Amino acid sequence: MAAISGTPGTTKAVTGAGPRQRPARTGPTLSRSSRQRLAADLGLLVVLGAFMLPLVWLVFASVDTDPSMKVAPPSGLTTENFSRVLTDEITFTPMLNSLLLCGSATLMTVTAAALAAYPLSRYKARFSRPYLLTILFSTCLPITAVMVPVYGLFVQVNLIDTMHGTSFFLATSQLPFAVWLMKNFMDGVPIALEEAAWTDGASWFQALTKVILPLMGPGFSVVTIYSFIHMWGNFFVPFMLIISPEQLPASVSIFTFFGNLGSIAFGELAAFSILYSTPVLLLYILIAKRLGGGFTLSGAVKG
Amino acid sequence: MSATDLGVVGKEVPGRGEPPRDQRLVRRRNPWRWLPIAPATVLLLLFLAGPIAYCAYIAFTDMQLTGQASASFVGFDNFTKAFGDENFRNSVVLTLVFTLISSILGQNTLGLTLASLMARSTKAIRSITGAVVICAWVLPEIVAGFLLYTFFSKEGTLNEILAWLHLPSQNWLFTLPIMAVSFANVWRGTAFSMLVYSAALSEIPKEVTESAEVDGAGPWKRLWHITLPMIRRSIGTNLMLNTLQTLSVFGLIWAMTRGGPGNRSQTLPIFMYDQAFNKSLIGYGTAVALLLLVVGALFSVVYLRLMREEV
């Protein structure tokens, strides 16, 4: 091992890290831990560089007067790319469609999930465990695989090319997971807090809306935002179920406008991609704190 | 996109066991109190169980895109046709390659590496790397597809870097399309494994690793004999969910290569779509879809076994 012994002073200076860091000790271990840290930092920087390249291209190309396919500092700065895509046809209509589609689907998902989670979390019954296992089982099914039959089914029942049919399907595809999460969050709300409401003669619905949901507010918003992010980025479902151009959400319309990969206006494509991705990135930042802290998988991966 | 994704449980949420019960709630044996699960159940039956049942039915017919009335029952014909179909076999192989490289080797290993490096790095670098990796994951699938299409294209960034390193460049999307989409999927999906493993590693008691270090176990020994056994269940679950996720990737590959050139990056979902809509063979496409569903279901059952005590 190379003897890059960090001077004892430097280690203390950068110990701004989280709880996982070993406390800096005295003696030879100090130089070892700072050596380890340096190696870890270098490793991360390499990965960071690799992961950043495509994102840097996106930002540069969107403001470049003459963008190419490789990462390069813009030859000249311009907002032309953005102003060219900010039209009804390219941006506003598809984004509005996305909002309608994913907004209504998210509303359905969280409403149905919150309602279903209540009895599953609060009552005991013989069928609640099999029900939950079925839900968990459905979270794993590759939804992609059912899209061909769903298309056939939607043609038969006249739901094809309708916003409401598509949002119903989107809502359902996200539902098992939302129910599972919602139930886990609800389990965390002590039942004693409900008792007061019960003794005041509140119905289960009042107990749910007035007591539980306010108490699990952060959890509720995580489920909501998470579902929305998923639907916003979903390409395959609207690609299969919506046909008329004026109803297409942004995920699919991007294809129609920039679809023929022969002659792409890269600057405009990059500008549109930024506009289309910004909402979900911002929403993710809103829930990132909750995701980062004590995050486990479906509430359930234990190492 | 299938919903096999992360769950989030705050520290204050046990997520296990039963909440303490109010005796009076349990005593009111009224079936109507189960009414609230009706909306979710109806939605799931209509839009999930329904299509799956329909899928199982269509897979045994010769339904075509044109004329729904002419479909007739053909038994296992679609399946025997599939196993004799050169293109189908090609898709199975490509799907295995895609899953192996991008999910098992790529996302899983890179995720674990990142998580363990992050446990030792300085805070600033850890936060920035985490943010960028997660950003790649949150971006809409199609945007990720476009970004990586330009990255791997002939005049793209990757070739530029290779030229700068004096290495031979090539048209990746043409010569090695399945590798290009696999790496794209690693770029897009690693965040998930990184988060899972970060959580798992933070649960390992510090005393254990420290005492091993004091006993003179080197980093590889520690990894092999302590860390990996202790996060065994996370590895299992993560591999499972990653694999299921990777099996159903459509948009990313569609945006990058459309399954081409020819059929050299045509994984099963793309093959299924191609048969059903470009070749109008709905029945045949659905039979392939059913096979995918069955594989997914088998994985799900294993996943349930892993999660058993959580429900």
User: What is the tens place of the pLDDT at every residue in A51-93?
Assistant: 999 999 999 999 998 888 888 888 888 898 899 889 888 899 9
Torsion (CA) A154, A160, A164, A170 in degrees, nearest 10: 60
Q: Do B100 and B107 contact (CB within 8 A), yes or no?
A: no
pLDDT at B64: 84
pLDDT at A293: 45
Question: Is B68 touching A (CB cutoff 8 A)?
Answer: yes
Local confidence band at B290 (pLDDT 50, 70, 90 cut-offs): very high
- Provide the terminal-to-terminal Cα distance of chain A, rounded to the nearest Å: 31
Local confidence band at B176 (pLDDT 50, 70, 90 cut-offs): very high
Contacts of A280 in chain B (CB under 8 A): 138-140
B116 within domain boundaries: yes
B51 within domain boundaries: no
For A193, residues 6+ apart whose C-beta sits below 8 A from its C-beta are A211, A215
pLDDT at B311: 55
Q: What backbone torsions phi and psi does residue A2 show, to the nearest 5 degrees?
A: -70, 145
Determine whether the interchain pair B143/A276 forms a contact, defined as Cβ–Cβ distance below 8 Å. Answer: yes
Closest CA to B115 of B4, B17, B196: B196
For residue A208 the two structure tokens come to 């749910």
**Cα Rg of chain A (Å, integer):** 25
Distance from the Cα of A238 to chain B's closest Cα (Å) equals 11
Contacts of B155 in chain A (CB under 8 A): 68-70
B291 within domain boundaries: no
Name the average pLDDT for chain B: 86
Q: Is the pLDDT of residue B29 over 70?
A: no
Question: Is B228 touching A (CB cutoff 8 A)?
Answer: no
For B14, residues 6+ apart whose C-beta sits below 8 A from its C-beta are A187, A188
pLDDT at B299: 85
- Estimate the crossing angle of helix A128-139 against helix A93-122, to 10 degrees: 150
pLDDT at A266: 86
- Provide the terminal-to-terminal Cα distance of chain B, rounded to the nearest Å: 24
B73, β-bridge pairs: B61
* Chain centroid offset of residue B132 CA: 20
Q: Is the pLDDT of residue A296 over 90?
A: no
Count of structural domains within chain B: 1
Q: Is the dihedral of CA A221, A226, A231, A232 positive or negative?
A: positive
Closest CA to B242 of B62, B4, B37, B1: B4
> Of the candidates A152, A171, A219, which has its C-beta nearest B10's C-beta?
A219
Distance from the Cα of A79 to chain B's closest Cα (Å) equals 20
State the residue range of the domain holding B217: 99-264
Q: Is the pLDDT of residue A264 over 80?
A: no
With H, G, I as helix, E, B as strand and everything else as coil, classify residue B215: coil
Question: CA A288, CA B165: separation in Å to the nearest integer?
Answer: 38
Distance from the Cα of B208 to chain A's closest Cα (Å) equals 12
Spell out the domain ranges in chain A: 36-78, 85-291
Contacts of B185 in chain A (CB under 8 A): none
A and B: number of Cβ contacts within 8 A: 434
Local confidence band at A193 (pLDDT 50, 70, 90 cut-offs): confident
Pick the residue with more confidence: B99 or A33? B99
Closest CA to B204 of B121, B125, B127, B119: B119
* Chain centroid offset of residue A204 CA: 31
For testing the chain A interface, which of B28, B47, B141, B242 should be mutated: the one with the most A CBs within 10 Å? B47
Which helix (H) or strand (E) covers residue B290, if one does? helix B282-307
B278 within domain boundaries: no
B42 within domain boundaries: no
HSE of A291 in the Cβ direction (CA atoms, 13 Å)?
23
Determine whether the interchain pair A301/B125 forms a contact, defined as Cβ–Cβ distance below 8 Å. Answer: no
Q: Do A208 and B32 contact (CB within 8 A), yes or no?
A: no
pLDDT at A292: 52
Question: CA A43, CA B116: separation in Å to the nearest integer?
Answer: 11
pLDDT at B180: 95
CATH of the domain at B181: 1.10.3720.10
Under DSSP, the state recorded for A89 is I
For residue B254 the two structure tokens come to 């569609």
Pick the residue with more confidence: A76 or A104? A104
Determine whether the interchain pair B125/A175 forms a contact, defined as Cβ–Cβ distance below 8 Å. Answer: no
- The third-level CATH classification (topology) of the domain covering A85-291 is MetI-like fold (1.10.3720)
Q: Is the pLDDT of residue A2 over 80?
A: no
Determine whether the interchain pair A137/B234 forms a contact, defined as Cβ–Cβ distance below 8 Å. Answer: no
Q: Is the pLDDT of residue B86 over 90?
A: yes
For the beta carbon of residue B307, count every other beta carbon within 10 angstroms. Answer: 21
Q: Do A31 and A5 contact (CB within 8 A), yes or no?
A: yes
For B214, residues 6+ apart whose C-beta sits below 8 A from its C-beta are none
Local confidence band at A217 (pLDDT 50, 70, 90 cut-offs): confident
B11 within domain boundaries: no
Q: What is the mean pLDDT of the segment spanning B37-58?
A: 95
Q: What is the mean pLDDT of the segment spanning B240-247?
A: 90
Question: CA B287, CA B82: separation in Å to the nearest integer?
Answer: 8
Under DSSP, the state recorded for A70 is S
Weakest mean pLDDT among A237-251, B64-78, B112-126, B138-152? B64-78
Under DSSP, the state recorded for A132 is H
Local confidence band at A294 (pLDDT 50, 70, 90 cut-offs): very low
Pick the residue with more confidence: B14 or A22? A22
Distance from the Cα of B86 to chain A's closest Cα (Å) equals 21
